[in-house]
Every structure is written in structure tokens, then in C-alpha cells.
Amino acid sequence: MTVAEVLPLGIEMLRNPALNKGTAFTEAERDRLGLHGLLPPRVSTPEEQTARVLENLRRKTSPIEKYIFLSSLQARNETLFQRVLQENLEELMPIVYTPTVGEACQTFGHIYRNPKGLYLSRFDRGRIERVLSSWPHQNIGVIVVTDGERILGLGDQGANGMGIPVGKLALYTACAGIPPSRCLPITIDTGTENEALLTDPLYLGVKERRLRGADYASLVEELATAVAKVFPRAILQLEDFATENAFALLSRYRDRMPAFDDDIQGTAAVAVAGIISALRLTHGTLEDQRLLFLGAGEAGTGIADLFVAMLVQRGMPQAAARGRCWFVDSKGLVVASREGLAAHKKPYAHEQKAARTLLEAIELLRPTALIGVSGAVNAFNGPVLEAMAKHNQRPIVFALSNPTSKAECTAEEAYRMTTGRAVFASGSPFPEVTLSGRQFVPGQCNNAYIFPGVGLGVLGSGARRVTNEMFAAAAQALAELVTSADLEMGRIFPSLTRIREVSLHIAEAVAEVTYRENLTDQRRPAALREHLAAQMYQPIYPDYAN
């Protein structure tokens, strides 16, 4: 083979993020692949490459600059990106995902560097199957899809919402070892109602009002049909759809393919796991809890539905279980006498006099847990938190709205206004809090504790469907891994340093549901945990010398 014939292969290796090793290509690999002269002469170890990345990353002065830096690394060297992410997850998850991904979505057209994922729009009608088939990897296991209409608590971000599927799938790999080559981000660009985007000259999406009704449904249907044909058995994760569409799409596809909605089911599992863990501090029982939600959309309803299902599993009648869950929306307490309620609110519209405000609802109902899923910043103000502390020795306060700028309260506010008695968790991370000489480590009620393990369990067991029973099993499995040391610090979730152990434990619980419910054609392996662990990707460079 001549040098001229070898060099193009070397250049191809350097330009392919799935194959590139950068300065870590060995002398033997450089000989074989024709890389001499294309790289500095000294061979770096992966440890040295990691140190170089971290040194440059930590020089960046803002989270969005760090996001851009990591995104560029991912686009040129996937293995090194995953190594850096996995070894520094507590530091980097807030950059790769919430809260920084929110800013990344808001500015996506301005910071765009490299293509990631597939974009589909009305212009692709009739050819979506062909577009999917053009993706370079065919053994796809997980697809995260959004239409960008309800990105975190930021609202309609249109095609800029691609940041969410990209971030979620990075965590599928980092947390549960789903190989990057098996991950596919998709954004369905159905237009936007965001005036700022429609007038932004650098916006990369279709500058039209959103598709609605039958046109919208038929576009999503073509995608789902194509996914089932091109990537059979791939998980279809619905992400950040508007409430009405989220419930409708989940209902339409959950029994046709392995589909789930992370905002409904993933949020539910991690929140219920947090409640189960919190009871070890409050010394209550699940049956005795009264939950009050601020926000009556998909996240809140999903949490309530799973909570109710677990109470029913324990023997409580469904009507009584639903009576343990109450909602406050923009019009006040959701009650049976209110007219025009959305369908997903009606099961939780109980007979009770109206309350106009959250504080009035707390005084009326005396909930044991207050759960914020509203995106209403500072909604858990001093009087609200003081009322929770007045009615509970250890009030459970979950401020779950993302990103951090949308949280209903901060960790410091929750601890200070309850004199350190609150059992607190948030959707995005907050720093440790010192109060009266005691150190509190706020728990992060992050879906990353749930969806990667569920994905590993579904793929590893060959499940045909993703069921609510799987999410109940995931919630129980997550709560089991909270240690006494975690609780002593006020943390009701395991440390993120244990996330791969957590994901494997959840995957095993999910797989057990698969086999028990006969949702697979596979036989249960004798050593199930080992079977699942063997499928987990490790960010280790391959040897190209042989």
C-alpha cells in the first residue's frame, strides 16, 4: 500500500469522532493508518489527554463557554468526551445538561458548531424513512425526540430544542453505558410560536407558526412508523412536548413500541423515589402522605399517577389513593366544582372548597409534601415554607422546576425558612448550605437517576414495551441505594459518583419486570446483573495496530 493510499484513511480516522484517538494514537497505529505528520510526534496517554481537557475547560469563565467546549470535544473525539464526563460527572452534568443546557437551547443558533442528530420538518413528509436510513449507525437502541415546544421551564424553543436530546443521550452513555453509536437525537421542527426566534436572523429552524391538529399528528405518525421499521425495538423517548401533546403521544405509542415520556414517567419515578427516601427521615409511611403539587402539567400528574399506583399496589382503593394528591394551578386549588378542567386534572379534582393561592391551600389541606413543577420562580416564598414547617416536624419540599432560574425556591431558602427541618430536593443542583453550624447537602431530584437505567434494562432484556410497572420498580430500586450517610447530610438520593452502580441496579429491576410480565422473546439469563453489566460501554480506546 502506498503512502498516497494510506493518508486518506488517516485523515478519515482523525475526522470521525467515533474512531478518533487524537494524540493517543500509538506509533504502531500511526504506521498502519498513515498518521505520521498529521499529529504531534509525542504519543499522549488517555490520562494526559483528560488532564489537558480539564485544564482548558476550567479556564472557561462561564457555563455556556464550557458547554461549547465540551460540545466541540464530543464532535471530534467521542471516547475522550465520555471519559472526561464519566470521571467528572458531578462537575460536568450541570454543564452537559441542566441548568446550562437551557441557556444552550436559548442560544442554539448562535453557538452552533457541528451537526448532531436528525432534524425533521414538514418538508420531509413522505421521506422520513429514507432520512432515518441515512443515519450512519443502524443498531440504534435509544432515540430521544422532541418538538421543542416545552423545553424545561423555558417554553417554546423550536428547533433549538435539539440541545435536550443531545444532552439526554450523553447521559444515557455516561450513566448507563448505552454505546454512543446506539443513540440517536431527533428534533421534529414543527415551527415555533416564539416571536424572538421568528425574528432572529440566526435561528436555524423553520420560521413558521407551529403545525397543529391533523398535520402535526400525521408528521409524528410518519416518524413513529419509520422508527418501528428502520430501528425495530429501539426505545422512543418523548421529551419536552407540550402537555396536551405529551399525554396524547404517550397514549398513542406506548402500546405499539417501547416508548415512554420522560417528563411524565421518568420525573414520576425519581420524585417518588425521593419521597420514599424522605420517609426514612420523617418516619412516616407512604399511605399517610398528602401531596400538594404546584403545577398541574405532565410532570405533576405523572408523579401523582405513579404515587397512586404504588398505594393501590399496597392495598389502598384507587379513589382513596387519588385523594392523597392535590394540585394548585394558575387558577388556584383544583377542585371538583371547577368547570372546564383538562382531562388529566379531573382524577385529582376533589370535593373541597376553593383556595385561590398556594398558601391558602396549604392551610386548608396541611400537606406533608410540597412539590413544585410549575416553573414559577420563588413560588415557595417565606410564608409558604413557614406554613409547611408549622404543620410538619419534617416538611418535604421538592422544588423540581428546571433550570435553576425557574426553581420554586433555593436550597438555602428551604432550610433557613424551616430552621433546617425541611427534607429538600431540587431539579437542578444547588450548593451545600451551612445553617447553625450544620452542613446540608441538597438532593438533586434528577431524571438522570432513572431514564438511563430504565433504558439499559429495556434494551438488555429485549422488552417490547416500557410499562408503568418498570418505573415503579425503578423508583423502589433507586430508593434502596440511599445510604444512612446520605440521609445524615440531608441528601435523599445517592451520590452521582455512584451513578453507574445506580443505573445497573435499576436496569436489573426493570429487566425483572420484563421477564415477569412476558414482555420479551428472550430467556432470562441466569446471571442477569452480569448480563446487563457486560453490555455497558466503557470509554476505552480500541487498538488499531492489530
pLDDT in tens, 263-301: 999 999 999 999 999 999 999 999 999 999 999 999 999
Q: What is the pLDDT of residues 434-472, one digit of tens each?
A: 999 999 999 899 999 999 999 999 999 999 999 999 999
Fold of 3-94: Hemocyanin, N-terminal domain (1.20.1370)
When pLDDT is averaged across residues 135-157 and rounded to a whole number, the result is: 96
pLDDT of 3 higher than 70: no
Dist CA 331 CA 415 (whole Å): 28
Provide the pLDDT for residue 9: 80
Dist CA 544 CA 546 (whole Å): 6
Provide the pLDDT for residue 7: 41
Catalytic, out of 66, 67, 97, 415? 97
Active-site residue flag, 253: no
When pLDDT is averaged across residues 174-189 and rounded to a whole number, the result is: 98
When pLDDT is averaged across residues 146-154 and rounded to a whole number, the result is: 95
pLDDT band at 1 (very low <50, low <70, confident <90, very high): very low
Burial class (CB in 10 A: 0-12, 13-18, 19+), 364: middle
Helix ranges (DSSP H) in 283-381:
298-313, 318-322, 358-365
The region of weakest confidence among 85-89, 340-344, 385-389 is 340-344
pLDDT of 411 higher than 50: yes
pLDDT band at 6 (very low <50, low <70, confident <90, very high): very low
Provide the pLDDT for residue 428: 87
pLDDT band at 327 (very low <50, low <70, confident <90, very high): very high
pLDDT band at 84 (very low <50, low <70, confident <90, very high): very high
Portion of the chain with pLDDT greater than 70, in percent: 99
Dist CA 118 CA 131 (whole Å): 8
Query: What is the residue-wise DSSP string for 83-138?
Result: HHHHHTHHHHHHHHSTTHHHHHHHTHHHH--S--SEEEEGGGTT-HHHHHHTSS--
Q: Which has the closest alpha carbon to 418: 446, 401, 399?
A: 399
pLDDT of 71 higher than 50: yes
Catalytic, out of 66, 116, 168, 406? 168
The region of weakest confidence among 152-156, 191-195, 409-413 is 152-156
At 287, list the grid cell: 399511605
Burial class (CB in 10 A: 0-12, 13-18, 19+), 15: exposed
pLDDT of 359 higher than 80: yes
pLDDT of 190 higher than 50: yes
Domain ranges in the chain with CATH number 3.40.50.10380: 95-257
Alpha-carbon torsion (261, 266, 267, 272), positive or negative: positive
Alpha-carbon torsion (102, 252, 265, 171), positive or negative: negative
Active-site residue flag, 331: no
pTM above 0.75, yes or no: yes
Kindly report the CATH number that applies to the domain delimited by 95-257.
3.40.50.10380
Provide the pLDDT for residue 202: 97
pLDDT band at 10 (very low <50, low <70, confident <90, very high): confident
pLDDT of 210 higher than 80: yes
Q: Which amino acid is at 48?
A: E
pLDDT band at 4 (very low <50, low <70, confident <90, very high): very low
Query: Distances in Å between the alpha carbon of 438 and those of 281, 435, 490?
Result: 16, 5, 10
Could you write out the three-class secondary structure of 484-499? HHHHHCCCCCCCHHHH
> What's the mean per-residue pLDDT of the chain?
95
Overall residue count recorded for the chain in this entry: 546
Q: What is the pLDDT of residues 332-356, one digit of tens each?
A: 999 999 999 999 999 999 999 999 9
Q: Please give the residue that has the higher pLDDT: either 114 or 385.
A: 385
When pLDDT is averaged across residues 183-201 and rounded to a whole number, the result is: 98
Domain ranges in the chain with CATH number 1.20.1370.30: 3-94
Q: Which has the closest alpha carbon to 172: 401, 447, 466, 473?
A: 447
pLDDT of 5 higher than 60: no
pLDDT of 320 higher than 60: yes
Burial class (CB in 10 A: 0-12, 13-18, 19+), 253: buried
Which single residue is written with the C-alpha cell 425533521?
Answer: 120
